Amino acid sequence: MPFYVPVGPRGLIFQLGCWVYGIVGTLTYWRASRRRGLPALRLTTPFEFREA
Amino acid sequence: MRVVVASVQMSARLLAVEENLERADCLLREAHLGGARLAVLPEMFNTGYGFLPDYGPYAEGPNDRTLTHLRRRSQRWGLTIIAGIVEREDRHIYDSLAVCQPDGSIQTYRKRHLVFWERFRFRPGRSPLMVSTPFGNIGLAVCADMIYRRVWDDYRRRIDLAVVSAAWPDFANRHTGRRHWLMGHIGPMSAEIPAKVAGDLGVPVVFSNQCGATHTTIPLLGMLIAENIPDRFAGQSSICDGRESAPVVAGVDEELLLATVRVNRPQGAKTCHFMSPSAHAA
């Protein structure tokens, strides 16, 4: 995918890394999201701000 | 049309949500007192930005505390607030940008170009988002989105103002100053890209970045072997008018930028395309 700004030859390594981690990361994320289908932990601590 | 806009540059301590919300609240109050009609907070301003085993417990929906609070502030102060949060929808979590408008509506843009460890923790967004406001249509981008041409081509001639919210690191060791071999030249670009976009698209750009110390994690072999740089966020948030005046640029510490920009709304009706899933809160 073309860059908006010139990133030099190192941009190719960056792009290749993004492509590889796009695949590996998607698999890792997918496994984690399946676990997350269980009832979620939520932050429910009440928190009040002072009014202006 | 002239509009006062604010870019909030703040540090956000990792997982100290209440502390971060309080700090942001003080800066938003300052923006409101300074006459701002639009205020932008950095990416993940409430949770902080850094590699974590799971952001799930800290992800929020439109009715959870961060957005409930920002919606109240937006309605009370007549201030459009754009803030980076970790968003949850069902089992998925996103690195998102929420737009809270004074009419009580909330819409979210999901970061499309996830980099490094983000691919392991978030689901990428699929489409751009243009939000209609009383002072024009706003196009949104999060951090690394802004280095991709496609993002700005999608917004070209369709927006009146662009907003970028980021947690953009310096990619340099904060103790020695030594730049990272691969990404070291990317750090300083945080100050250059918003100005380039403003000139190229001919619209004002509001760029809000985090500041302060961080650890940048670059995966080398999955997440099993990763490089950790004792880094800092680049700061240098900016407000670029695009045509009339020089950009207003922050330093590397906490700061609130306020500036008046000229937004040229075209005459007559303008079509808005809401292409991203949006969360409309009551």
pLDDT in tens, A9-48: 888 888 888 888 889 899 999 998 888 765 555 555 555 6
How close does chain B come to A25, measured CA to CA in Å? 4
Does B148 contact chain A (CB < 8 Å)?
yes
Whether B150 contacts chain A with CB within 8 A:
yes
**Which pLDDT belongs to residue B79?**
97
Cβ–Cβ under 8 Å, residues B60 and B30? no
Quote the tokens at residue B12: 């956000």
Please report the pLDDT score of residue B278 as a whole number. 44
**pLDDT per residue as tens digits for the range B174-217:** 999 999 888 888 888 888 999 999 999 999 999 999 999 998 88
Interchain pair A40, B88: CB under 8 A:
yes
Contacts of A43 in chain B (CB under 8 A): 17, 57-58, 60, 64-65
Inter-chain CB pairs, A–B, below 8 Å: 96
**Helix, strand or coil for residue B81?**
strand
CB contact under 8 A, B189 and A5: yes
**Residue B265 vs residue B36, higher pLDDT:** B36
Q: Match 């979210």 to its residue by tokens.
A: B108
The residue ranking higher by pLDDT, B77 or B271, is B77
Angstrom distance (rounded) from CA B71 to CA B189: 32
pLDDT of residue B136: 93
Nearest to B149 among A2, A22, A24 (CB): A2
Residue with tokens 């662009």: B162
Reported ipTM: 0.76
Q: Alpha-carbon distance B184 to B207, whole Å?
A: 20
Give Cβ neighbours of residue B240 (< 8 Å, ≥ 6 apart): B194, B195, B197, B198, B199, B204, B205, B207, B247, B248
pTM across the whole model:
0.89
Mark yes or no for CB contact A4/B69 under 8 Å.
no
Q: Which of B111, B118, B211, B240 is catalytic?
A: B111
Local confidence band at B6 (pLDDT 50, 70, 90 cut-offs)? very high
